[in-house]
Amino acid sequence: MWESESESVAEREYGNGVLSSSKHGVKTDGFEQRGRDWYVATDIPSDLLVQVGDVCFHLHKYPLLARSGKMNRIIYETRDPDMSKVVLDDIPGEAEAFELAAKFCYGVAVDLTAANISGLRCGAEYLEMTEDLEEGNLIFKTEAFLSYVVLSSWRDSIVVLKSCEKLSPWAENLQIVRRCSESIAWKACANPKGIRWAYTGKHQSVSSPKWNERNESSPSRGQQQVPPDWWFEDASILRIDHFVRVITAIKVKGMRFELIGAAIMHYASKWLPGLISEDGFVVGDEGSHSSNSNTSSSGAASWKGGLHMILAGTKEDIPTVQAKDQRMIIESLISIIPPQKDSVSCSFLLRLLRMANMLKVAPALVTELEKRVGMQFEQATLADLLIPNFNKGETMFDVDLVQRLLEHFLVQEQTEGSSPSRQSFSDKHMYDASQRAALAGPNAKMRVSRLVDSYLTEVSRDRNLSLTKFQVLAEALPESARTCDDGLYRAIDSYLKAHPTLSEHERKRLCRVMDCQKLSIDACMHAAQNERLPLRVVVQVLFSEQVKISNALSNTTLKEAAGESQFQPMVSNRKSLLEGTPQSFQEGWATAKKDINTLKFELETVKAKYAELQNDMDTLQRQFEKMSKQKQGSAWTSGWKKLGKLTKMTHIENHEIGSQLPTTAADQQTKKTPRRWRNSIS
C-alpha cells in the first residue's frame, strides 16, 4: 500500500491514532455493553438516555453538553430541565460513530483508523463538536488525522472513500470524497520510479506498493518493475459514483487514455460480469483487460461486492432494483469513456451496447455509444454484432442497430479519409503483434464488408427479416468495399432457403445486390446449379464466367508469345496456387475445364455446319438467278438452243472418241457419207 514518511510523524503527534481528551467531568474506566445498550463504568448514575437506532446509551449530560453544540440546543431549546431522553436517528455513522464520540467526551482513548475516521468525522460535524466549545475538539482532531495520515496513504484513501458510501451527503459536503479522490488520482498518476514493492508475507499485500519518494537510493527499487495497471483492482472496489470521481480526477492529471480505458473495462468486468449467451447462461467478460493478480490490496481483500447479472433471456426477469443499479453503472461508464479512438476495445463497447439496450439506458447515451462503436467498427466480431432485439414481434437480432453502426462507420471513414494523415492507435502498444498484423492487412472497408456479409448470412435465417432490411444493409457499403461477392452470394442463398415463398420479382430484386462478375469460380459453379436463383441470374453468372475464361486464355496466349522467360514464372506460380487451393476447388476446376472444352468443340461444329449451309445457300442463289434469266426468252428459242447444244455436245463427244480409235477405209467411208447427205439436202 501507499505509505509515506509523514505517516510516522503523524502517528507520533496523534498518539499512533489514539485520541483522548485531557478534560472530562466524569471519571470513568470505560464503557460497558449489555446486550444492545451501552453503560458508562462509573459510580455516578446516568441522567441522559440517548437512543441511536435500536441502540441505547446511558450517559451523563455534562460531558456531552461541554463538547457538543447540538446536544446543548436539543436540551436547552426544549426548556425541559428534567429531559432525560434524546433520539438521534439521523446521525451519520449511526451508533458506531456516536459511541466513539461519546467515549471522546468522557476522555476514553479512541483508536482512529481508516475504517472509522470518515464516520467519526461526519458524526462530529453532526454533533457540532467545534473549537468554540473546547480547544482540540473532535472535529479538529479527526480533520487533522484525515489530512496528515489518511490522505498520504494509498490504502487508507481507498478504505476511507469506500466507507463514505453510507455517509452521503455528509461526506460530500465535508469534501472527504473529493480529497480522497484527488489523493488516489495523484498516486495513480505518479511516476512509477517513486514506487517500491514491499513483501510483507501477507496474502492481502503481497505486492502492495509503498510510497517513498524521498529515499531515492532504496535498494529494493528497480528489483521489480511496477505494472501500469497496479491500481485497477483497488479502484474497482469503489461504488460507481466514487469511481467516476476518481477517473475524472485522473483525467485532469493527464493519464494516458488507453490506461483509463483499461481501468474502465476492468471495473465493468467486476460489476457487470454477465452477458446473455445463446443458451441463456452467464458468460464472463473475457475481453476485458485483467489486472495483475498481485495488485489486490488489503482494503479490497475482504470485498465481496458487485452487482452480478443472472439473465435468462428477457429484461423482465431482472429484478427492478438490480436493473436500476446496473443501468446507473452503464450510464456512468459511458459518460467517462475517453473520447479517443481505441481507448477501449470495440468488443467491450458492443457488449456494453447490448446491455444498454436491454436495460433501456437513456437514448442520448445509447446514441453516443453507437457513435463510439462506429469509430472502431472494423475491429468488431460477428459474435459481438449478434445483439438480440428486445422489441417483441420483430426480428430475432437487432438489424436496425447494425445498420446504424454501419452508417456511423461510413461517416467516420469519410471524415478521416478527407484528412491528410490518419494514424490508428493500433500502431501503438495497446494491441499485440497479432492484432497489429490483422489491422495492417486489408483496409477497414474490406474488413467491414466481410463482417457485414457474415452478419447477413447469420440473420438471413430469420423468417421475420424483411427483404427491404436485407437489401438496405447489403447495399449500404460502396461497391469498392467488396472485391469478391462470395460472402454476399452465400447470404442471398441462405435468405432464399429461409424464404421459399418469395416471388420471381422478389428473387430478382434480392439478387440485384450481387455483382456476378465478382464471384469466384467456386461460387459460379454453385450458382450455375442453384435452382433457387432466377434463370436470368444464372445466365448472367455463366456469361460472366465465360468472359473471365476468355480473358484468362487471351492473357495466357499473350504471355506465351512474350517468351519462355516470362512463361516459366507463370507456370510455377500457377502450380503453387493450385497446391494452396482446396482439393474440392481443384476438382471443380477440372470439371469446369472439361465442360468448357466440350462447349468449345460443339461451338466449332456448329460453325462448320453454318459454313456448309452458307455455301449451299450461295449455290442455290446462283441457280435461281440463272433460271430467272432463262425464263426471259421464248419457249421455242429455248428449245432450239437446247437442241443445238445437245447436238454440239454429241458431235464433240463423237469426235473425241473417234480420234482415239485407228483409222480404216470403212470408217473414212462412213464419215464421208453424212457429208454427201448434207450436200444433197442443201
Using one digit for the tens of pLDDT, what is the confidence trace for 118-148?
A: 999 999 999 999 999 888 899 999 999 999 9
> Which DSSP symbol is given to 291?
P
Cβ(48)–Cβ(108) below 8 Å: no
Burial 139-157 (b: 16+ CB within 10 A, else e): bebbbebbebbbbbbbbbb
Q: Which position has the higher pLDDT, 267 or 529?
A: 267
Q: Among 408, 349, 355, 359, which residue's Cα sits nearest to residue 381? A: 349
Q: What is the spatial distance between Cα 208 and Cα 260, in angstroms, rounded to a whole number?
A: 21
Q: Which residue type occupies 571? A: V
One-letter amino acid at 547 equals V
| Beta carbons within 8 Å of 457's beta carbon, 6+ residues apart | 487, 490, 491, 494
Report yes or no: 349 and 369 within 8 Å, Cβ to Cβ.
yes
Q: Which residue has the cell 463538547?
A: 67
**What is the model's pLDDT at position 537?**
81
| pLDDT reported for residue 309 | 31
336 vs 91, 374, 570, 623, CA distance in Å?
Answer: 33, 18, 57, 97
- Rounded CA separation 153/398 (Å): 49
> Given its phi and psi angles, is residue 550 left (phi above 0), alpha (psi -120 to 50 degrees) or beta?
alpha
Dihedral pair phi/psi, residue 299, rounded to 5°: -70, -25
* Cell numbers that stand for 177 in this block: 470524497
User: Span 644-652, mean pLDDT?
Assistant: 53
Average pLDDT of span 468-474: 92
| Long-range pairs of 581-585 with CB within 8 A, sequence gap ≥ 24 | 585/521, 585/522
Cβ neighbours around 263 below 10 Å, total = 27
pLDDT of amino acid 569:
44
With 0-12 CB in 10 A as exposed, 13-18 as middle and 19+ as buried, what is 285? buried
Mean pLDDT over 200-222 rounds to 40
Would you say 145 and 15 are in contact if contact means Cβ atoms under 8 Å apart?
no
Residue 608 confidence (pLDDT) above 70: yes
The closest alpha carbon to 118, from 160, 66, 72, belongs to 160
Q: Pick 554 or 445 by higher pLDDT.
A: 445
In the chain, where the domains are located: 28-152
Helices 240-252, 257-271: axis angle to 10 degrees equals: 170
> Which of 340, 361, 366, 351 is closest to 423 using CA atoms?
340
Per the structure block, which three cell numbers stand in for 116? 472509522
Q: Which range among 227-236, 555-564, 571-580 shows the weakest confidence by mean pLDDT? A: 571-580
Question: Which pLDDT does position 591 carry in this prediction?
Answer: 66
Nearest to 515 by CA among 546, 547, 548, 479: 479
Helix then strand then coil, % of the chain, to nearest 5:
60, 5, 35
The rounded distance, in Å, linking the Cα atoms of 306 and 316 is 21
Q: What is the CATH number of domain 28-152?
A: 3.30.710.10
Q: Which residues contact 300 (CB under 8 A, 6 or more apart)?
A: 158, 233, 234, 236, 237
pLDDT, tens digit, for every residue of 312-364? 334 444 567 788 889 999 999 999 999 998 899 999 999 999 999 888 899 99
C-alpha cell at 512: 440485384
Is the pLDDT at 648 greater than 60? The verdict is no
What percent of the chain clears pLDDT 90, i.e. is strictly above it?
A: 35
Buried b (16+ CB within 10 A) or exposed e, 598-615: eeeeeeeeeeeeeeeeee
Does position 219 have pLDDT exceeding 90, yes or no? no
Q: State yes or no: pLDDT of 13 exceeds 60.
A: no
- Distance (Å, whole) CA 196 – CA 207: 9
Q: Which DSSP letter does residue 194 get?
A: G
* SS3 state at 49: strand
Q: Which residues contact 459 (CB under 8 A, 6 or more apart)?
A: 386, 395, 396, 397, 399, 465
pLDDT class of 553 with cuts at 50, 70, 90: confident
| pTM of the predicted model as reported, rounded to 2 decimal places | 0.68
For all residues of the chain together, what is the average pLDDT?
74
Instruction: Count CB neighbours of 388 within 10 A.
Output: 16
Cβ neighbours of 398 (radius 10 Å): 22
What mean pLDDT comes out for the span 555-570?
55
Max mean pLDDT among 78-82, 296-300, 624-628 falls in 624-628
Categorise residue 132: left if φ over 0, alpha if ψ from -120 to 50, beta otherwise.
alpha
CA 207, 213, 219, 221 torsion-angle sign: positive
In this structure, are strands 282-283 and 275-276 parallel, antiparallel, or unpaired? antiparallel
Distance CA 322, CA 250 (A): 29
User: How far apart (Å, rounded) are the C-alpha atoms in residues 678 and 148?
Assistant: 162
CB-based contact 51:70 (threshold 8 Å): no
